[in-house]
Chains A and B, each alone.
Chain A
Amino acid sequence: MNNRVKDIIIWDRLFDPKQTIGIEIEMEGQNLSFNNSIYWKYTHDGSLRGTPESIEYLLKEPIQKREVSRVLKLLKDLMLIKRKPPARFTPSDRCGVHIHINIQYFTEENLIKFMCTYLAVENLLLRYCGEARQGNLFCLRAIDANTLISKLIEYRQDGDLLKLTSRALDIKYAAMNLGAIREHGSLEFRALKTPNNIEKINEWVKLLCCVRDQSITFSSLEDIVETVSRYGADQFVRMIFQRHTNTLINVIGPDIEDDILEGIRIIQDIAYAKPLQQNKQEGINLPDY
Chain B
Amino acid sequence: MKKYNGFFDLDHVRMYLNNSIIMIENEPCVINEVNSDGEWDYILHYSRIGIAGIREIEVTNTSVSFIPIKLGLVNILYRGKNKTFIMRRRPNRMWKIGLNTANMVCTNIVNPGLKLWMHRNILFSRELYKTVQGDFPTVEKILDENTLKNTESIAFNREFLIHKYNRKLLLWYFNYSVPVGKIKRNKPQLSNEFLFLKEKLEGILNEQ
Q: Which residues of A contact B (CB under 8 A)?
A: 49, 92-94, 130-132, 134-137, 140, 144-150, 153, 157, 169-174, 265, 268-269, 272-274, 284-289
Contact = CB atoms under 8 A, between A and B. Distances in A.
Contacts of A135: 66-68
Contacts of B66: 135, 137
Contact of B92 (A170, A272, A285): A170
Contacts of A157: 177
Contacts of A130: 2
Interface of B: 1-2, 4-6, 8, 16, 66-68, 71, 88-97, 103, 105, 165, 168, 170, 175-182, 189, 191-194, 196, 200
B62 to A, nearest CB: 13
A132 B179 CA distance: 39
Contacts of B6: 92-94
B68 to A, nearest CB: 4
A269 B72 CA distance: 15
Contacts, number: 101
Q: Chain A interface mostly helix, strand, loop or mixed?
A: loop
A144 B90 CA distance: 9
Contacts of B95: 137
Contact of A144 (B1, B67, B93, B105): B67
Contact of A147 (B89, B178, B181, B192): B89
6 contacts: A135-B68, A150-B175, A171-B92, A284-B165, A288-B193, A289-B189
Contact of A146 (B8, B89, B189): B89
Contacts of B189: 289
Rank and list the top 3 A-B pairs by shortest CB-CB distance, nearest first. Answer: A135-B67, A287-B191, A174-B91
Nearest to B191: A287
B192 A146 contact: no
A2 B89 CA distance: 31
Given A92-B6, A93-B6, A135-B67, A172 B92 contact: yes
B92 A173 contact: yes
B84 to A, nearest CB: 15
A169 B91 CA distance: 9
B89 A93 contact: no
A132 B4 contact: yes
A94 B91 CA distance: 17
Contacts of A145: 68, 88-91, 103
A144 B68 contact: yes
Contacts of B67: 134-135, 144
Chain B CB count within 10 A is highest, among A171, A173, A286, A287, for: A287
Contact of B182 (A131, A273, A289): A289
Nearest to B68: A144
Nearest to A270: B175
Given A135-B67, A269-B175, A287-B180, 11 more contacts: A131-B2, A134-B67, A145-B103, A149-B175, A153-B175, A170-B90, A170-B92, A171-B90, A173-B92, A173-B94, A287-B191
B91 A289 contact: no
A155 to B, nearest CB: 13
B165 A49 contact: no
Contact of B191 (A136, A170, A174, A289): A289
A184 B72 CA distance: 32
